[in-house]
Amino acid sequence: MGIGGLATLGVVAGCADTAPSSVSEHETPPASGAEHAPSPEDTRPTADEAWQRLEEGNARFVSGSPLHPHQDAARRIAVAPHQAPYAFVLGCIDSRVPVETVFDQGVGDLFVGRNAAAILDDTVIGGIEFAVSGYQLPLVVIMGHTACGAVKATVDAVKANPAAPTAPGEILDIAQEILPAVKATAENPDDSAFVDAVVTTNTRHVADQLVKRSAIVAEAVKAGTLKIVASTYHLDTGQVERL
């Protein structure tokens, strides 16, 4: 499916505005009186600039001095006609890792995907492709987190039955996605340290797999217009560590 098809999909789904066909159409004009409206030149940052914006927001969150940008009525009105998010963040469903909050971002800033352990499936990849191809996105962040329950459950399932780990219902699908990372991580007698090590392995694995499983992502990375960043969110400090 080409960009046009993806744009149509967005309209049909009713979850995204029509993907702009050029950078100029991408730009969000500042709304009059909008305190946090982006200027046209900062709506299309490079990957490094996009990461820096996330890093600065995370630093504000860590220090307990968030600005809560882009969360007022003016911003909501400004981005209603079209959006120009500057990054896609794939995170975990964990209630302690709300993506916009930990990066101190607001409405219209980020595409966000969340599932248990920030893993890939076809619909997640499709969503990232939609963002990358339709919005010329410069940055995709895969964000695992310490003490991830989904990773711990998979580790426990492997311990209980190394040859054929099991899990109830569709949770098994999640465990099977995490399993390669469990097997690829060096054993550690410290259970929590091992879980965190598997999180790191898994997040890197997901970042690698995204490029391998998506021709659209691979082409953008090869062209130098897109970077994939693997990261870990630390539950205790609130810091997002780039891997």
Smallest gap from residue 214 Cβ to Zn ion (A):
23
> Would you say 32 or 95 has its CB closer to Zn ion?
95
Q: Is 129 in the site for Zn ion (CB under 5 A)?
A: no
Q: Which amino acid is at 78?
A: A
Angle at 51 between CA 105 and CA 138, to 5 degrees: 100
3-state SS class at 221:
helix
> Would you say 84 or 148 has its CB closer to Zn ion?
148
> Would you say 2 or 168 has its CB closer to Zn ion?
168
Report the distance separating Cα 198 and Cα 156, nearest Å: 12
Q: How far is CA 55 from the centre of its chain?
A: 14
Angle at 64 between CA 59 and CA 69, to 5 degrees: 70
Q: Is 92 in the site for Zn ion (CB under 5 A)?
A: yes
> Would you say 87 or 151 has its CB closer to Zn ion?
151
Q: Among all chains, which residue has been given the structure tokens 């500042």? A: 30
Stretch that binds Zn ion, among 82-90, 130-138, 141-149, 220-228 (CB under 5 A): 141-149
For residue 91, the cross-strand partners are 114
Strand order across the 139-145 sheet: 110-114, 87-91, 139-145, 227-233, 240-242
Q: Is 220 in the site for Zn ion (CB under 5 A)?
A: no
Q: Is 94 in the site for Zn ion (CB under 5 A)?
A: yes
Stretch that binds Zn ion, among 3-11, 90-98, 173-181, 202-210 (CB under 5 A): 90-98
Smallest gap from residue 61 Cβ to Zn ion (A):
18
x/- string (CB under 5 A) for Zn ion, residues 144-163?
----x---------------
Q: Among all chains, which residue has been given the structure tokens 């600065």? A: 56
Residues 6 or more apart whose Cβ sits within 8 Å of residue 105: 54, 57, 69, 70, 99
CA distances from 220 to 90, 196, 225, 227 (A): 18, 30, 5, 8
Q: Is 47 in the site for Zn ion (CB under 5 A)?
A: no
Stretch that binds Zn ion, among 53-61, 94-102, 107-115, 132-140 (CB under 5 A): 94-102
Smallest gap from residue 109 Cβ to Zn ion (A):
22
What letters, b where the CB count within 10 A reaches 16 and e where it falls short, cover 71-110? ebebbeebbeebbbbbbbbbbbebeebebbebbbbbbbbb
Stretch that binds Zn ion, among 32-40, 50-58, 72-80, 140-148 (CB under 5 A): 140-148
Stretch that binds Zn ion, among 66-74, 89-97, 179-187, 205-213 (CB under 5 A): 89-97
> Would you say 79 or 90 has its CB closer to Zn ion?
90
Q: Is 89 in the site for Zn ion (CB under 5 A)?
A: no
What is the contact surface with Zn ion in residues (CB under 5 A)?
92, 94, 148
